[in-house]
Amino acid sequence: MKNNNDYVTHNHDHYKDHRQRDLANRKYKDGADICIVGAGAAGGVLAYELSKAGFSVVVIEAGPFWNPQTDFASDELAAQSLAWQDTRLSTGKDALTFGHNNSGRGVGGGTVHFTGVFLRFHESDFKTKTIDGVGEDWPIEYQDLAPYYDKIERDIAVSGPKEFPWGSFHGPYPYPERNPISANSQVFRKGCDRLGIKSVVAPLAILSAPFDGRPPCISRGFCNQGCMPNSKFSTLIHHIPKAIGYGAEVLSDCMVTRIELDDQGKAKGVTFNHDGKEHFQKAKLVIVSAFAVETPRLLLNSTCSKFPQGLANSSGLVGRYLLTHTGHDIYAKFDDEVRLYKGTPVMALSQDFYETDRSRGFARGYTMNAHGGRPVSLAKNLAVSAGIWGSDLYEIMRDYNFYARITIVGEVLPDYNNFVTLSEEKDEYGIPRALASFSYGDNDNKMIAHGVAKANEILEAADGKAAFVIPDSAHLMGGCRMGRDPAASVVDEFCRSHDISNLYICDASAFVTSGGGNPTETVMAIAARTAQHIINSR
Amino acid sequence: MYEKQRTRYKGFNVLDEKKEWDQHTEEIVLKRLGPFAAPKFLLPEEKEMLKAIASHLIYDDRKEILEFVINHTDESLTSPVGEGERKPDAPPLKDLIRWGLKALDNAARGQFDCSFVELNAGQQFEMVAALQKAKAYLVPDWQQIPQKELFKKLASLIVSAYYAHPTIWSEIGYAGPAYPRGYVRLEFGLTDPWEAERNEE
């Protein structure tokens, strides 16, 4: 048996070597106030806030309850198990890749293997239609989320600059910015300085000093492989253990297959599968926080006589307006070593191209992240996405240490024709596999071209030579968009479904537009606001 | 064929530092050196074909490294875990690989009148390159095997494994696992004492 003395492993029900398989003795077998489906960025915050407020809460999570010390490793290939790998069917002109770049599995969800880049949306993100005539307006504004952004940043001690130049929040962040920054981030800032582009040390959900019993970052660089020192925030090590401390129960390795309704058409609980056996969790309120793919999939699979098109779907929009971010990786080669493997992947960024500038020929914009990386993902993406193999691949990889990289996180405009739905093919639980279709629009492609050119300018200004570009996407959002009009949206501004009053859908799927930056902080702020609304409605 | 200069970091061996790694990572990495159990999914002829394809994709024919690549591929094909995503018109991974290798072999027989593994290196290379562009020699098998998808899945499995091998880490000057000690000297031009030092001639 492995050593399990670290504090993260306390209080939970089961994980490797310590699994409690006896679901008959679970805590809220006879019913809970609230059942949350999914323990990721949103589910973790909801579990914490709601259990702290005194509700009895059960979180049901499809994947395992990871132990960072014995389940994570300083290894890319092994870390693939942290991602949601269940097969999804993917089509469209720009078919999405699913897995490590966007979908988590297990308690903590995607926060277990995200880069920790922690950004607020700008005011303009919430009203692109009014301001720019593209996309759609949200039913909320920046000011509605501002107090929750503040709270989340304090709750987890976000590190960041004293002065943040863009958007509405200009700092300072609760914890000081990370120092030193990696060579790749230095290269990026040097290029930006020479071109007159503003850049900052990235705001990160990664500690720059001790906090809450956790140590500061040791610049190991394996953020995407799961943080072993627990310096990087995840709901696995922060919100979920605290929620358990307030009485919440986490049922991991349990796949929710259906949301069940009572005769009045209200949610009464969920059916889930554990080790091949079916169980039921009764609850007064159900919150689905299962990710932009699994949330629509679960709603569409929960058909019943009253809702033959799936739950919360009277608008027909469940699964529609699926959003991603353009995520192209731009590489340049330097005469000296950069060593992309060292330090937190993203330690510097710029939002100088975030807001609409019509002279560029497209609406909206993007964040530029200096972005470190490791050999397996680079080589794999070169071969699979860029089509480079054989001696060409070998020669690039031999010089791996000489490359620097910038990643574009660009706003993708919502399109009805980008969607998640159910396919004809079933998985081991008998649920139809998700079918996703995605294609970039004209505006998206123009933005990608602009971002790639700008990234190359920056790298060349820093004395690099433009080398290659790997097409990529990152983050998934949308599919259950929020709005005031029940005919044109799935949930209201508090993530409550228009159709079923005790069914909430609270995760990135509620996004109306994607924004032009990493979305995790916004997912968590929305979850905190939804929790407050539920507490207020008690 | 593979005579190019392999490394700018002669003498660097990432495994020299394994005592500094956490136990879990060390176990995982050392398993990549073998010995390997016999494949559970791949048939002997499939294994030989995959080795030949792999050597072209990764530009390397060292036996011990190819053995690990094949072992990783076989484990991926026997794993109950899904494949992330798949094109709706592509068969599931196991079938794609099995039927795909068969199709490629049939294409070799149609085009050159011998099996894929009997082709010379140049002919094999041409066939892999054609697969990437969906222009392999036409045989009926391709009706159920999307060639580009076959190429991508093979490339993904093989290239991922290759660059997870500690010998390759050493050659490219990647310092590998870094827990519990982490990196101290992150900035441009600085290295920690255990990192690879460039010493190419």
What are B117-136's pLDDT values in tens digits?
A: 999 999 999 999 999 999 99
Sign (positive/negative) of CA torsion A228, A231, A232, A237? Answer: positive
Separation in Å, CA of B143 to nearest CA in chain A? 18
Separation in Å, CA of B144 to nearest CA in chain A? 16
Rounded distance, CA B140 to CA A223, Å? 46
CA atoms within a 13 Å half-sphere pointing along the CA-CB vector of A31: 7
Residue of B nearest to A178 (CA): B186
> What pTM did the predictor assign?
0.96
Please state at what angle helix A520-536 crosses helix A142-155, rounded to 10 degrees.
Answer: 100
Q: Which of A73, A86, A182 sits opposite B186 (nearest CB)?
A: A182
Residue pair A90/B86 in contact (Cβ under 8 Å)? The answer is: yes
Q: Tell whether B155 lies on the interface with A, counting CB pairs under 8 A.
A: yes
- In 3-state terms, what secondary structure has residue A471? coil
pLDDT of the residue at A20: 53
> Which residues of chain A does B72 touch, with a Cβ-Cβ cutoff of 8 Å?
77
> Which residues of chain B does A427 touch, with a Cβ-Cβ cutoff of 8 Å?
82
pLDDT of the residue at B4: 62
> Which residues of chain A does B175 touch, with a Cβ-Cβ cutoff of 8 Å?
341-342
Q: CB A18: neighbour CB atoms within 10 A?
A: 15
Q: What is the pLDDT along chain A (538 residues), one digit of tens a residue?
A: 344 444 333 333 434 444 455 687 889 999 999 999 999 999 999 999 999 999 999 999 999 999 898 889 999 999 998 999 999 999 999 999 998 888 999 999 999 999 999 999 999 999 999 999 999 999 999 999 999 999 999 999 999 999 999 999 999 999 999 999 999 999 999 999 999 999 999 999 999 999 999 999 999 999 999 999 999 999 999 999 999 999 999 999 899 999 999 999 999 999 999 988 999 999 999 999 999 999 999 999 999 999 999 999 999 999 999 999 998 999 999 999 999 999 999 999 999 999 999 999 999 999 999 999 999 999 999 999 999 999 999 999 999 999 999 999 999 999 999 999 999 999 999 999 999 999 999 999 999 999 999 999 999 999 999 999 999 998 999 999 999 999 999 999 999 999 999 999 999 999 999 999 999 999 999 999 999 999 999 9
Q: Which two tokens stand for residue A84?
A: 């949601």
A256 marked ligand binding residue = yes
pLDDT of the residue at A2: 41
Q: Is A419 exposed, middle or buried (0-12, 13-18, 19+ CB in 10 A)?
A: buried
> Which residues of chain B does A374 touch, with a Cβ-Cβ cutoff of 8 Å?
174
Q: Which of A328, A333, A393, A79 is nearest to A184 (CA)?
A: A333
Q: Is A191 exposed, middle or buried (0-12, 13-18, 19+ CB in 10 A)?
A: buried
* Interchain pair A218, B182: CB under 8 A: yes
Instruction: Name the band, by pLDDT with cuts 50, 70 and 90, for residue B80.
Output: confident
Q: Which of A74, A187, A391 sits opposite B179 (nearest CB)?
A: A74
Q: Which two tokens stand for residue A206?
A: 């990664």
Residue pair A394/B59 in contact (Cβ under 8 Å)? The answer is: yes
Q: Tell whether B160 lies on the interface with A, counting CB pairs under 8 A.
A: yes
In chain B, how many H helices and how many E strands?
7, 1
> Which residues of chain B does A182 touch, with a Cβ-Cβ cutoff of 8 Å?
186-187
**How many beta-carbon contacts under 8 Å exist across A and B?**
196
Q: Which two tokens stand for residue B120?
A: 């010379």
Residue pair A438/A424 in contact (Cβ under 8 Å)? The answer is: no
